[in-house]
Amino acid sequence: MLALAGCVDLPQPYRGRPGGQAQVLAIPLAIRIAVPPPEQALLGNAQATDFAAALVAALQTEDVPVIASATPLPLDWLVEITADRQGQGRGETVRPRFRLLDADRKPQATTEGKPIPLEDWANADRALFDQVARENGPKLTQLLLQVEAARKSTDPASLTAGPPRLYMLGVLGAPGDGNASLGARMKEQLGGQGFVVQDSAEGASYGLQADVAVVPAGTRGVERVEIIWIVSRRDGEELGRVVQMNEVPAGRLNRLWGDIAYVAANEAADGVKTVVANALQAPPATSDAPKPTVPAVGGVPAPPPAATLTAPPVLPPLR
């Protein structure tokens, strides 16, 4: 079984190190990203070149196929960098912005960095550009994954039309902000895995819901947390479950879940991906026997799970 993460002040061995498979991006090798030196970022020519190089280095650490080039090839995607001034007087700042353009130079996604004091930006060196790039590289990588997954999923001519669309039905039963936090973090994690996650059933191939229970444990002052992620097919057939269990101090989750929701979703997302992968690889049924009627996505899933997961080791109980 997959285990819940520890509290903020406890060891969290998987934080920042989700495993090799989770770091492999779903980006076809045919797509290359080019980062031209920005012409509208309030920088000199040498600074612009350094900024582009810093962003390329940050994206390469995320395994993105990217180069710094003032003359991108016709089929290259682009990261367009701009910056604008905000505020007045001594509080004036510069906010860098990043826009992802496809090969047709059509905008696909945008993100922005933290504001930087105008004086620091005017005198920016490679160290500052490296810092900005490290902060925004992962955000650009996430956007690229989501854009590419959506693009591939709309190509009916492709036998590998990209990751399937998954309908996120929601999380039920968690105290505090657990329902919202777990749902939001799971959307982020699955998006990072290359899924197209949506809030409606239209066009979805799979459904995902979670049931949470917090009950007294055998030890006084300790509660047991159980999270069950249920993956179902569009016709309602249950494909598998990812189960997480751990113990927390009583009342710990009555308000904010915080890091626990993040790491719980991070660990469970790999299990959800495994269930869907098993379903995609399953051979077609050949039996002529009638199948029992099952409800559609959003209803009660059929009881027996069709996938068995090999889960990572359980983390130590929370203290």
60-69: pLDDT as tens digits:
998 888 999 9
| pLDDT at 4 exceeding the cut of 80 | no
How far apart are the C-alpha atoms of 128 and 96, rounded to whole Å? 12
Q: What is the pLDDT of residue 145?
A: 81
Residue that wins the pLDDT comparison between 97 and 28: 97
* % the chain with pLDDT above 70: 72
Lowest mean pLDDT among 1-5, 19-23, 32-36, 100-104: 19-23
Tell me the whole-structure pTM to 2 decimals: 0.46
How far apart are the C-alpha atoms of 32 and 305, rounded to whole Å? 40
Closest by CA to 112, choosing from 104, 100, 126, is 100
Q: What is the pLDDT of residue 6?
A: 42
The pair of structure tokens assigned to 272 is 């959800």
| pLDDT at 245 exceeding the cut of 80 | yes
How far apart are the C-alpha atoms of 21 and 198, rounded to whole Å? 23
**Phi, psi angles (nearest 5°) of residue 119:** -65, -40
Residue that wins the pLDDT comparison between 151 and 204: 204
| pLDDT at 26 exceeding the cut of 60 | no
Residue that wins the pLDDT comparison between 153 and 246: 246
Residue that wins the pLDDT comparison between 17 and 235: 235
- Mean pLDDT over all residues of the chain? 77
Closest by CA to 94, choosing from 109, 80, 112, is 112
Residue that wins the pLDDT comparison between 24 and 232: 232
- CATH T-level fold of 33-153: Rossmann fold (3.40.50)
Lowest mean pLDDT among 1-10, 45-54, 100-109: 1-10
- CATH no. for 1-25+163-319: 3.40.50
In the chain, CATH 3.40.50 sits at: 1-25+163-319, 33-153
| pLDDT at 297 exceeding the cut of 50 | no
Beta bridge partners of 215: 224
| pLDDT at 136 exceeding the cut of 90 | yes
